[in-house]
Structure formats: C-alpha cells, structure tokens
Structure 1
Amino acid sequence: MVSKLIQISNHEAENPLDITLREAFSLLERKLRPPFPLSIPTKEEYQNLNRAILYGILCEPHLAKVHIKHLHGIITDGYQYFTSLLVKIVNELYVKLVEPVKRQLIWLTHEMVNVSAVGFDGLLVALLRQIVGGDFGEENLHLCFEMVNLFSSKWFYLLEEEPLVLTGALYVFLRLLTDHFRVSNIPNMESLRKMESDFCVRMLRYNFSLCLKIGRDLVRLLQDLVRVPQFCAVLKDMLYNPSAFRVDGFTDISQLYNTPTPRWYFSLRLTPEMESQLTFLLTRVKFGSQKRYQVWFAKKFLVLPERNAVIIDIVRFICCAHHSPNDVIRSGIIPRWAVIGWLLKSNMKNYVEANTKLALFYDWLFFDEKVDDIMNIEPAILLMVHSIPEYIDITNSLLEFLFILLDNYDPERKEILHRGISAAFNAIVRKHMVQSLDIFASNMIYPILKERLGKLLRHAVPEAQHQSRNIKLAS
C-alpha cells in the first residue's frame, strides 16, 4: 500500500510512523465505514483504531466527517492518544506531508480544540514551531495565516482553557512580524501582516498581565517593531505610561527587565529538525571536527540571505535554553561559545548582526544572580576571552557593542543596565568562569574599551577590582 501521507524519494527508507498508521488503516479499513461495531475494544485495539481513523481523516478528505464522528464515538481517554499521534506527525513528518494532508491537519487541529482534546495545547505549539523564520514561500506563509486565524478565532476559549499557549503565539508572531514587515511585493503579505498585528496588539492591549509571563524578551521583540505605529505606541506606554495597561502592580518597564524569559519560548522559533541538528552539534561533535557539520547546517537552514535572521533565534536558544552538562563540557565537545562565534562570522545584514549581538548580551543588561541563570551569560564572556588574540576583531566588536548597549539601550534607566552588567562580571569572577579578566589588558584590545572596562569593574567584587586595576594600568 503506497503512502498517501508523505512524499518519499526513491533513495529514502520508509518512515516507521507512516508505516504504522498505514498498516492500521489497511487492517481496519472495512470497519471504518458505517455501521460501526458496538463492541468495546481492548487497549491495543483502541490504539490501532485511533491510528486507522487518523490516517483516514488525513488521507480521505471526502470521508473526514464520517471518520471524525467515528472517532468521537469511540474515545475513552479524552483524545489523549489521538492528540499524541498528531503531535508526533507534526514534529517528525510535517515537512514531508503532501499538501492535501497539511490542509486536513489544520482542519483536524480545529476539531481537537473544539472538543478540548487532552494535549491540544502541545499540538498548537508543535504547529507554531513549523513556521520557518525568513521563509516567504507560499506554503510557509499559508501556515502562518492558518495559525494566526486559529488563535484569533479561538481567542476566548484559549484564554479560558490554555492561556499560556496564547503567550507562545504572541512570542512567535511578534518575531515573525519583524521579518514580514521587511518584505514587500509578496502576494497576500499585507493581509497576513494585518492579521498578525491585530492578534498581537489585542494580546498586548487587553491581556497584558498574561503577556508579562514572557518576561524581558517581550521588550526585545517589541523594540524590533518600533517603526510600526501600533507597536511603537505599545512600547511608549510601557516606557512612559504603564498604567495604560490596567495591570495592578505594573508600574515600570524595569519589572519586565528583571523577569527572565522562561526557556520554552526560545524553542518556539526553531523547528524540531533544526533543534535536533543543533543539539547534535553541541552534544556529539568534537571541537576541531565540527566544520563539515557546520557546513551542512548552514546549507540546510541558512542558505538563503533572508533566512539568516534565524541566527538571532539560534543564539538566544543556545544562551538560554541549551545548557551543556558538566560531562559534555569536559568531554571535548564543541562549546557553545564556539558555535556562536561561527554564526557571528556568517554573512549577515547589519540589522541581523546587531540583533544577534543583542541576543547574546541581552541577559547581561539585567543580570541578577538571584533570578538569572549564570549559564545564560557564559557564551559571551568565553567567546570574548577565547577570541584573543587570533580573532581579536570579535572581542573588540563585542566589547564595543556591550558599551553601546549600556549607553543607549534605555538611557533613562542606565543605572539598571550598569548594575546588571556589573553583576554579570561579578558572577563570572566569583564562579571562576574564566581564569582571569586580566586577559582584557591585552594591547590588542582598543584602549578606550580597556579604560571603560576598568571603570566598570571597579564596582565589582574584590577579585574583579584587582583585575580592573591591571586592565587600567595596561591601557
């Protein structure tokens, strides 16, 4: 029986999940037509019937309503097993699904939300992750349209049943809008931008207390949309008129600055395949043997210039969501800082490069050891230290960017930024993350940067104060 679910090239092996679904359908096909049997199935029969019905819904659109009625009639577990199969299909097979199946998948997702299927929130998250940043192809934009339409149409229900998934959608669509507002002459892009903008503004204006759960990265995403009037207005209110959001206790944007973004948001902008390959690189590939893996990764995910914007998301993910355990760190596997250094040397547009550096340093600006994970700031310091002297241009450019952020990111709250960056260096020294900051006394570091770093470190712990004197003397 040839698969109607996915496209397989001649050289590819058959997919185990596809085989399982197909075999269940073939075995039970005659039982998938009315009148349906009234007998109570065993656990194994029940799961097999779920698989068969799922294959029928996806591959027989003309009979989908019959199959869905059959499904509703046999369910005994709140659709938990059925939904888990759907999530597995999205995570493992989505890019290979034939177009009619993708359309059925969206229809079926609506149905699962309608019946409050156990795990439907995980299904929504899985579909959001399949939207590829920087991809303006028809299929990808169609998925954007379908998902923002789903979240908008099910707004009140999701707000009551699964509010956290709405914040995930907000994170995703704010990030996508940054890409979508940079292109023109693409059919239906204007209508898609409007739908995405309406959803995001609705969230920000009417459910801001929920949006606060995203934490400080909400501000980072909004700042990338500052040229869009409705988002500029939101950001201005956050800065100068926080009472406009009518949230008890929210009195200043610094409250957001001081709230780290939970890890799961960062995985939302990487497809499961991209995360899998990145994780392989960071857990299995020896330092010094990574070039061919990096070349493959770049050809697969970064080959088009507009796709380079995903580097911002990759760096944020590496810093905040992928923390290598000690056994990996000691094993000679390529470290996180080296992967980020490789990404920074990619041929990027200026705004992508600036946002990538911001992604690297963002937690430095508001670092507080009581609430922040020191592993979030590790890649930046190790990249600067290990780039001396062979790649000194990286060290100088990163230090320069850090001081640009200190001076310009939020001038009215510069003291918060100064305190955050100082606290980051404090933690680095006390935790012995690097052997010594004296390496910044190198004559290859720009004198003005050494001088500023020396002044900054005077506010650090005693060990760093000693090192700041060495840096000052060297300058």
Structure 2
Amino acid sequence: MVSSFTQGASHEAENPIELSLRQAFESIEPKLRPPFSLTILNPDEYLELNRAILYGILCEPHFAKTHIKHLHAIVSDGYAFFVNLLVKIVHQLYPKLVVLVKNQLIWVTKEMVHVLGVGFDGLLVSLLRQIIEGDFSDGNLWLCFELANFFLDKWNYILEEEPLVLSSALYVYLRLLADHCRSPNNEKLGTLKRLEIDLCVKIVREEFHLCLKIGRDVVWLLQNLFHVPEFRAIWKDLVMNPSQFKTPEFTDISQFYCIRTSSRYFLLRITPEMESYLRFLLTRVKLGQQKRHQMWFTRKFLSEPSRETVIVDLVRFMCCAHHPPNEIIQSDIVPRWAIIGWLLKSCRKSYVEANVKLALFYDWLFFNESVDNIMNIEPAMLLMVHSIPKYIDMTHTLVEFLLLLVDNFDVERKDIIIKGVLSALRALIHKGVVLSIDVLTSCATLSPVLKEGLVRLLNVK
C-alpha cells in the first residue's frame, strides 16, 4: 500500500508536483513491478516513468531498491530529469513531507550522488537550505545529522565531482555550530556537534582553497567559534602560521578581506519559504502598510526565542542578495533599510543584536569599489539617515557600533579597515545615496562624541 506523501490541512489544494507524481504512479503502476518491459520509450513516456518511479521510491520504501534498479535500467539523460524533480520536491514541499518520505528523500539523494546524477550539487544545496537555524526540534536536528554524515561518507565523490558543494556545507555548518555550541547543556546536540566540528575542520584543514571560494564571511564565521578548541587552533594558524594550510597563494588573513562573498552563500541560511515572503515584502508592500506583514513574518519564522539568530542571516541576505531595481527604489515600496530597522528592533538578545549590526556593516570594513557592490552598503547608511530625528537612538547606536568596529575588528590591520570604511563613505556620496556625510556630522541631535569620532575618521590620512 502506498503511504501518504505530505501532511496538510484537508482544504489545501494538492501541490502540482505531488499531483503529477501521484498521477504518473497510478496510471502506470503495473509497469513498475518486475519483470520490466524492454520497450523503447518515447520522450513523454520516459518522463512519465521517471515521475512514477520517484513516487514509488518515496512512498513505497519496501520496494525502493526495486524502483531504483528500474530507474538505472531506463535512464538516458544522466538522471537530470529525475534529480530536477527531487530539487523541486525539496524546494516546494520539504516542510510538509511526512517523516517516511523525508527518510526516503535522503536515501535516494545518496543514490543520486553515488551514480553522479546530473545536478546532484543543486539537490544537496536545496537540502542544506531546509536546515532551520535556531530550531532544536528532532526533525531539524535529524536533517543536520544526516547531511553532515552524508558529506563525510561521500567525501571523495563530492570532492572529485562538485567540490564547491563542500564550501556550501562549510558555510552552513559554521553558522549552525554558532548556535549548537551555545547550548552546552542540550543532550540532543552532543553527537551532532562532534560530527559538525569534524566536517568543518576536515574541509578547512584539507581543502583550504574552498574557504577562499567563500570569501570574507569565513573570517566572521570562524571568529564566532573561537571558544571551540578546534577552531581556536585554526584561527591561530590563520593569523600566525598560514603556511599550515598548504595553499601557496594564501599568506595572510587579510587576503580574505579582498574577496567579496557571493550572494549564493547568503541564500543558504534562509529557507525558500522565508526568501519568498521576504521578497514579497520588498517588492509588493507599500511603505507604511508593512506592519501586519511584519507581524505575520514574526509569528511564522521568529516566534521562538531560539530562532532569533536567523535575523543575522536575513539582514545579510537583504544587504547582499536582494538588490531592488531602480523602479522599486524610486517607488513607494517598503525599502530594505526599513525592514532591517524593524528586525534590529526585534532583537532581544544582546549578542544577536551585535551580530545583526555586524551583518549590516560587514562589507563597509573592506569596501573596494572595483570589487564590491554599493547596494551591499546602502541599507546601513539609509537606516542611519532616515532614523533622524524621529529614531535618533537608532542612528546613535549604529554610528557608535561603526566607530567601535573600525577600532577593534582587526587591530593589527586597522589601516585596511579604515581604508575600507572611507572607500564606502566616498562611494555612497559619489553614487548619490547621500549628498554629504554632513547629514551625520552636523546632526544637532547626534552625540557630540560620535560626531567627533566621525570627523576624526574622515580626516585620517
């Protein structure tokens, strides 16, 4: 008997992907039992058989090995269509899948990597995106464990065929460890943390060039784990003994600062569902009408205290991966800076608030107009400016944080940081984001100490 595929309210319409798979299975079910037909399939029949086999694998675990043998026998496109179906299921349906189907999904993913199915890298990335930060439920921790174990188990396959997937895994698990290592008394996390640490250390120590593929955000991720002995040792080697990483082109940690992190990494830490609702908010909702949408977003994604850490990733996503076109910028649609201001005000924990501010200013510290995009740094400046005078406390806290960053982020390389921030300010003025920095240095309601700090920064030779 075929099991259920998804769980949901009875009034919800069946997802088109699920519907197409189920209909394919029901229409040709007799052909899915041995002995299999040797008839040559036309293109439509081939696609239909792929759908039916996938439904059988996911919903008939007792026949899964038979179904996968059938697939191997008929495949003619390097598994491209089959893998694409899996990606769509993960992207559109994963949160609603029943436990049995999720188990089968991981099983068939392993099979696709084993046969090097075309597009398996995209499938792994889709699964990584379904791990929810700050979620300590059994189902979410199970997915963390299964994927970490999978990357270690299939290490050679992945490294040889799609090594960049390991850089995605590194980014995800370094972020997750920041949460998991902050909960030392959670018994459920013991084995998982060890596995996550082993995976990340293996990637950094054995394939350091993949860290360079990620870019400057690796520095921040490793800083967050300095209290973990294995990462403290990595950090010391980064700063004092870079030759340990056996990468001739790497000679100093400041080289990371010059490498802008690609937007694809920021997408890894927000689920497709979060991305969809956030993009809706930033492309359809008018300024002044966003409050009810914000309340809904909070209830849906941020209601549990442990989920608050995802705000850091939401801000990095908005700064670096969502760049609205001019027609949106010039319209009355709610701007990025307003949503970021709301999220910053939503922070209850001081360390999360500090990390959100760092997410907002991080690219300022290393800004180079030939490498970096002004859209990455625009939200911080506009949030400071538009908070005057009604929300001057917001302007105050952001200016204060920026000045502290300049002085303390990397004391040994402070000249690089100052150069980056000054380059950012010049670019913001040159591109017309603000007419002049005077909007801050001449602000009557801003603390004189902060205004003096800004002036000193601007006058650094």
For 2:382, the equivalent position in structure 1 comes to 382
Q: Secondary structure at the match of 1:188?
A: helix
Q: Would the aligned equivalents of 1:3 and 1:18 in 2 still touch at CA under 8 Å?
A: no
For 2:63, the equivalent position in structure 1 comes to 63
Cα RMSD over matched residues? 1.2
Q: How many Å apart are 1:327 and its aligned residue?
A: 1.0
Separation in 2, partners of 1:128, 1:14: 25
Separation in 2, partners of 1:233, 1:87: 37
Q: Give the counterpart letter for 2:390 in structure 1.
A: E
For 2:450, the equivalent position in structure 1 comes to 449
% same residue: 61
Q: How many Å apart are 1:216 and its aligned residue?
A: 0.3
Q: How many Å apart are 1:10 and its aligned residue?
A: 2.0
Q: Would the aligned equivalents of 2:58 and 2:105 in 1 still touch at CA under 8 Å?
A: yes
Q: How many Å apart are 1:459 and its aligned residue?
A: 5.1
Q: How many Å apart are 1:50 and its aligned residue?
A: 0.4
71-80 vs 232-241, greater mean Cα deviation: 232-241
For 2:431, the equivalent position in structure 1 comes to 431
Q: Would the aligned equivalents of 2:145 and 2:192 in 1 still touch at CA under 8 Å?
A: yes
Q: State whether structure 2 residue 212 is matched by structure 1 residue 212.
A: yes
Q: Would the aligned equivalents of 1:425 and 1:457 in 2 still touch at CA under 8 Å?
A: no
For 1:285, the equivalent position in structure 2 comes to 285
For 1:473, the equivalent position in structure 2 comes to none
Separation in 1, partners of 2:420, 2:186: 42
Within 5 Å, give how 1:9-20 maps onto structure 2. Answer: 9-20=9-20
For 2:355, the equivalent position in structure 1 comes to 355
For 2:305, the equivalent position in structure 1 comes to 305
Change (3 A) 1:335 1:2: farther
Separation in 1, partners of 2:20, 2:348: 43
Q: State whether structure 2 residue 167 is matched by structure 1 residue 202.
A: no
Q: Secondary structure at the match of 1:377?
A: helix
For 1:467, the equivalent position in structure 2 comes to none
433-442 vs 218-227, greater mean Cα deviation: 433-442
For 1:177, the equivalent position in structure 2 comes to 177
Change (3 A) 1:162 1:44: same
The alignment covers a number of residue pairs equal to 460
For 1:393, the equivalent position in structure 2 comes to 393
Within 5 Å, give how 1:239-254 maps onto structure 2. Answer: 239-254=239-254
For 2:8, the equivalent position in structure 1 comes to 8
For 1:407, the equivalent position in structure 2 comes to 407
Residues 205-226 of structure 1, C-alpha deviations (whole Å, 9 max, x = no match): 1111122111000001001001
Q: Would the aligned equivalents of 1:365 and 1:418 in 2 still touch at CA under 8 Å?
A: yes
Separation in 2, partners of 1:243, 1:252: 9
For 1:259, the equivalent position in structure 2 comes to 259
For 1:368, the equivalent position in structure 2 comes to 368
Q: How many Å apart are 1:435 and its aligned residue?
A: 2.9
Residues 248-275 of structure 1, C-alpha deviations (whole Å, 9 max, x = no match): 1211111001111011000000000000
Q: Give the counterpart letter for 1:444 in structure 2.
A: T
Within 5 Å, give how 1:27-426 maps onto structure 2. Answer: 27-426=27-426
Q: How many Å apart are 1:242 and its aligned residue?
A: 1.0
Q: Secondary structure at the match of 1:345?
A: helix
Q: Which stretches in structure 2 are left out of the alignment for 5+ residues?
A: none
Q: Secondary structure at the match of 2:346?
A: coil
Q: How many Å apart are 1:3 and its aligned residue?
A: 7.0
Q: Secondary structure at the match of 2:93?
A: helix
Q: How many Å apart are 1:187 and its aligned residue?
A: 3.7
Q: Give the counterpart letter for 1:443 in structure 2.
A: A
Separation in 2, partners of 1:184, 1:300: 27
Separation in 2, partners of 1:384, 1:87: 40
Q: Secondary structure at the match of 1:141?
A: helix
Q: Secondary structure at the match of 1:453?
A: helix
Residues 427-453 of structure 1, C-alpha deviations (whole Å, 9 max, x = no match): 011111113322211121111110111
Q: Which stretches in structure 1 are left out of the alignment for 5+ residues?
A: 461-475
Separation in 2, partners of 1:182, 1:387: 33
Q: How many Å apart are 1:355 and its aligned residue?
A: 0.6
Q: How many Å apart are 1:186 and its aligned residue?
A: 3.1
Q: Give the counterpart letter for 1:391 in structure 2.
A: Y
